[in-house]
Structure 1
């Protein structure tokens, strides 16, 4: 019995891409369409009946989703040719994006992130891409320079920066990009995908009030539960 008869259609069903092909495709698109630098991180390997990080650490906090070398910043590239060469050698490598170059990221708890998204939509604020990670964090992409100004902005809004879970990821740091997976926890996803409409990123000032309010509300709720 042929493929067409088996699935009951007249055309052959498309063959899903292998995971390595998906990672390569995404990495190339980030470089070509968004002009983001990317670099290859660790990957997942089979071991003891489960997937383990290629770094060899038994209790790796981000299995398959962190830098594989100390000088990772020097390996970040926006060249599609170089990206194809790197992922051609290791198709399973995670996709990591250095912050502090094309963008910074404002990192908040997932619950606060969804609250902030709803608030920002009501306020009709312009958003950039937003990722959702398997460890329940949400990262809002903004223009570089967030780290230098965020503390003062939060304090001017009446919040104590150290009392709320709001972190700026900038120069010298990186974030994992979809569809990178964290071991058995799942994959990084887009809460707001990169599109032509959000090519121009917002500045930190445009999002900080909603994010600080959401994180402050979460912190207050947590104190009440104790």
Structure 2
């Protein structure tokens, strides 16, 4: 077999495994958890090279955005609808709207990893945590966190701090594992969802620790301490 043929077999094998993993995840989200999902764009490889499935030559985020501009209203948790959609477009990534069954607090990966250790040591109830190939961790929390965030930060004394902390709520979304994000790699679970249904933590239980570790990472003295620890 030629080198080109071997490369093609590897590529096709990888695509099949990615599809199978995406289908399994979509089925779990819709059928077992009742999470609404929408399809995301993906990369297409053809004679023209690699480009985004949206078809825009000037796509600003190839393979890293919802496939449908009306993704929010068309997101569904219907197992039948989900099976149909992914049977038609099997390489689609998985977009989960936030603000419905959960919100997501996103922080830099280093700060998130440090916070995760602290929260586990304190015995703080935690929900799922995912990692993106863009270098962030997202902590899934009970819905409503995005609306409460400014007030919570004010109460905790972090309202005037320049923190790299974002909260995704109504009108926003996250990519769910194992969705590939363009050429960067897949989204992964750091803490996967527990089997069965489970209650997500309130944002206030995590926010103080997340804000503290973000602040330490971003401060001139804290950055050195962070890297040494």
TM over 0.5: same fold? yes
Unaligned runs of 5+ in 1: 1-14
Give, in angstroms, the shift of residue 64 of structure 1. Answer: 1.6
| Greater Cα shift, 49-58 or 106-115 | 49-58
| Greater Cα shift, 94-103 or 51-60 | 51-60
* Count of residues in Structure 1 that have an aligned counterpart in Structure 2: 211
Other structure's SS at 2:219 match: helix
Are 2:118 and 2:209, in contact at CA under 8 Å, matched by a contact in 1? Answer: yes
2:51 is the alignment partner of 1:76 = no
Equivalent position of 2:134 in the other structure? 135
Give, in angstroms, the shift of residue 49 of structure 1. Answer: 7.9
Are 2:164 and 2:214, in contact at CA under 8 Å, matched by a contact in 1? Answer: yes
Are 2:112 and 2:210, in contact at CA under 8 Å, matched by a contact in 1? Answer: yes
Are 2:19 and 2:91, in contact at CA under 8 Å, matched by a contact in 1? Answer: yes
2:182 is the alignment partner of 1:183 = yes
Equivalent position of 1:24 in the other structure? 23
Unaligned runs of 5+ in 2: 1-12, 225-229
CA deviations 1:100-158 (Å, max 9, x no partner) are: 00000001111111011011011111111111001001110000101111112112222
CA deviations 1:66-115 (Å, max 9, x no partner) are: 11222111210111110000000000001000000000000111111101
Equivalent position of 2:192 in the other structure? 193
Are 1:130 and 1:190, in contact at CA under 8 Å, matched by a contact in 2? Answer: yes
2:92 is the alignment partner of 1:64 = no
Q: Distance in 2 between matches of 1:36 and 1:184?
A: 26
Using structure 1 for the length normalisation, give the TM-score: 0.85
Q: Distance in 2 between matches of 1:197 and 1:222?
A: 43
Q: Distance in 2 between matches of 1:224 and 1:132?
A: 21
